[in-house]
A and B are shown apart, each in its own frame.
Chain A
Amino acid sequence: MSDNPPGARAAPTCIGVVGDGQVGLTAAIVLRRSYPRSDVVLIAAPLDPAALADTAITSWPSSLGFHDSFGFDEAGLILRAGASHRLATRFADWCGAGRDWVLAYGAAPNPAMRVRCGDDGPGDSALQRLNASLDAAGPQTVVQALAASGRFAMPVDNPESPLSDIDYALRWNGPAYRSRLASLARHMGVRHVTAGLSELAYAGDGSLTAVTCEDGSTIVAEWWLDCSGPAARLRAAASEPEFESWADMLPVDRLLVDDGKASPALSLEDRVLACENGWAWQVFGRDAAHASFGYASELTSDAAAAASFKRACGASAVGKIVLRPGRLRAAWAGNVIAIADAAASFEPLHGLNLHLAHRQLGLLLELLPARDIDPRERDEYNRRAALLADGVRDWIAAHYCSPVPRPGAFWHHAGTQRRSDALSGALQQFGARGRIPHFEDAPVGQDGWAAVLAGIGAGPGRSALLAARDPAQRIVQQAALAGRCRAALALARPYPEWLSARLANPQ
């Protein structure tokens, strides 16, 4: 290659994507957009129920920007895939009965808005009253205020407007979402082979050169994406890939899912209800309220989990999913790149499995391989993909790190698992100084970290900067915040009303 004169690298002739769930479809679309003159062949693989990114019906807010980047429009999801908006997730009874906390999107509450009296605040009675009212009433951001009142408005660009604080995620109907992706893929010219894999052919250097499908067709490609779910069929076929287990870091290794027939609900808030032996997560879709139950198999039998699931939200478990938390040590080996559950598997809170898949695809587009793979580019991808995956793991693990955990064996187990250095550092710095360290390639930003750590009661600790703030200035800021929340509420409409108007008039 170095004998060639300097130049743009050659585009691939053909890229193979194995696994035609929503992850594989998305991957094929973005590759085809990047290389419009290359063949992109999408090869079917049976959908593994443990492929949580493929079965996800929701994701993190930034997935919407990713959707936009490949022309997957939000209006279409709302009109034709039953999408609805989520502003927040409530973690009910999370640190004990009645001790809820809410993760709202957008900026985290400014810690300066909340001064714990008798700790580092001055003894100003007006301030104490304000604090008391804030503590009691709750909303410390515009999004919290909207979520609490069930009102919604679209965000605007103008930072002066309180509506500019809004950020939201969507949940949707799974089959409709996939079918919209499939038609976009078709429209983009992705070749879809619906017969499954039957044989793989390798070159002398161990790279995968061709796959033969059950219909006898053979696809030859320069490189491959493995979107086949936790089995990582392409990667596993070559040799057992090195797997880094997170079993000692994330507690949930079993999931029960309901039949998806519970009555639909319009809500800006989803709910994770902590139970004695796990949690029940309810996603309130326009098609149905979908529920799942996460637990640890070494502590709880499937029957006991099913009973808890039933008690928590009246759901009947119709499926059980076995999770093997962890990630491949190298997501990209040879000429095969594992994406989503093929690269990292973990419990599905917040829909982060699909979010991670989108971030991986975004990273791949940044370091997009040419026809020939450059090992240094692969190393850089693997370095950053590992940061992404570990970032998700640590942030989810943080949910279980309450200093005063809920009673119960599950919560004790979850709260005493191994913590990475990054997680310990975040807990320590937030707990002691109210600060979130910077993480490179963080899949969840500082606001998300602050919201969880404050939610579980792990801080914020004593910050000299906050303690030094002028009390008069605090009162002014608190009043401004209250005004901003009131203004947002006045501009927003009750969500059902907002949504009907939107559906009646898509523009």
Chain B
Amino acid sequence: MNWTWFHKWGSPKWFFQKTEALVLWFGFLCLILLVVGTVWGLAFAPEDIKQGNSFRIFYIHVPSAILAQSIFMAMAISAVVGLVWRMKLAHIFVQVAAPIGASITLLALVTGAIWGKPTWGTWWVWDARLTSTLIQFFIYLGIISLYQSIENRDTAYKATAIACLVGIVNLPIIKFSVNWWKTLHQPATFKLTEAPSMAAEMWVPGLIMLVGFYLFFAFAVLVRMRSEVLEREKRTAWVREYLEKKNVL
């Protein structure tokens, strides 16, 4: 197998040049999908027979909960790449993705609480799904503060990468909590092996929102990584050249 692409993408210069157009595309597509998904989900999708209109928060809650876990997965994979191949960009990814992951997890928790009040009759209950998601939020916060509390950058990178690997055990717990234990939270509506237990006209806008959320993450993380790369490489010739071309210098 040819690994040159992998090493090329590990180069900050290559990464910065190749992602320039990509960022705009991600941002543009994410905007379209989120607008279409929101309007469709809130105004045109049918209401649920039992929950009525309050089920519509599904269109924010579910994509944010899925994305919050995917971000952590991506951070853990990136942490392995950073630890094993000593790839700086991988460490930068972990560090810039963590605050996004924390915000999205918070969004999932808050929308879940807002949804819980009218349907369950309570904002919060200490069941396995809700508690493990709250722990996920604290893990994100822990990773952010761990990075910030260590002065030496390389040590900070290594420590956060190890924290990601430790934190990854929480992901299967969140995922399977509704199957392993008795919880107030219902089990998954979407399973890999079965058809979704939801009508298509209800889940299609949800899927659009989910793709929109993923693109938002891709957009946000690239913007943050690019500015981090610029900051870090500010003394190199290629950054100077780039800034001159942009008439910033």
B is bound to A:
no
